[in-house]
């Protein structure tokens, strides 16, 4: 429980930092384009990369907070016993998705970008760094899913 709370805080502060950098980047882009009449060459690309990180890390964060988008019609109509079983099934499915798609697929995506030395056009950074957010978020979602399987009462709150 203590580790989860610490992880939540770290993830929350990281997302705030990335979002703040994104806002500053976009403000600079607008300022340099319309006021200085000299558009910055890297801000558009940086904004895209930061948006990827904020979106995918944000998905991991809301999964841990149980605030993600869900269709809960079946859960609302279920009895207490069936609801617990349904939450168990849902968390197992989420864990399998996190491992198969995000961790394995995301790691493959990042590794191949590093192997083929694919770099971004404006920033000239390896795109593998951009795609590392996939396996990282997959690992976080897997942790949160396992946590909710081990602590099922948190699903029912």
pLDDT digits (tens, 9 = 90+) for 84-138: 999 999 999 999 999 999 999 999 999 999 999 999 999 999 999 999 999 999 9
Q: Please, are residues 89 and 81 in contact by the beta-carbon 8 Å criterion?
A: no
pLDDT digits (tens, 9 = 90+) for 36-58: 999 999 999 999 999 999 999 99
pTM of the prediction?
0.93
Q: Is the dihedral of CA 67, 63, 106, 53 positive or negative?
A: positive
CA distance 46 to 92: 35
C-alpha distance across the termini of the chain, in Å:
16
> Look-up: residue for tokens 């770099």?
119
Q: How far is CA 75 from CA 30, 63, 67, 68, 81, in A?
A: 46, 17, 15, 15, 11
Structure tokens at 136: 């990282």
């Amino acid at each position: 429980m203590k580790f989860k709370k610490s992880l939540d805080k770290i993830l929350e502060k990281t997302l705030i930092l990335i979002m703040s950098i994104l806002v500053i980047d976009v403000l600079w882009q607008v300022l340099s384009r319309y006021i200085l009449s000299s558009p910055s060459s890297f801000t558009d690309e940086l904004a895209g990369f930061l948006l990827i990180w904020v979106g995918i890390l944000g998905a991991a964060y809301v999964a841990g907070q149980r605030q993600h988008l869900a269709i809960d019609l079946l859960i609302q109509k279920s009895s207490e016993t069936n609801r617990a079983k349904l939450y168990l099934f849902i968390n197992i499915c989420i864990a399998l998705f996190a491992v198969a798609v995000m961790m394995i697929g995301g790691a493959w995506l990042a590794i191949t970008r590093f192997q083929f030395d694919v770099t971004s056009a404006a920033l000239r950074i390896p795109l593998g760094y951009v795609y590392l957010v996939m396996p990282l978020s997959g690992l976080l979602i897997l942790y949160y899913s396992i946590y909710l399987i081990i602590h099922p009462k948190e699903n029912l709150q």
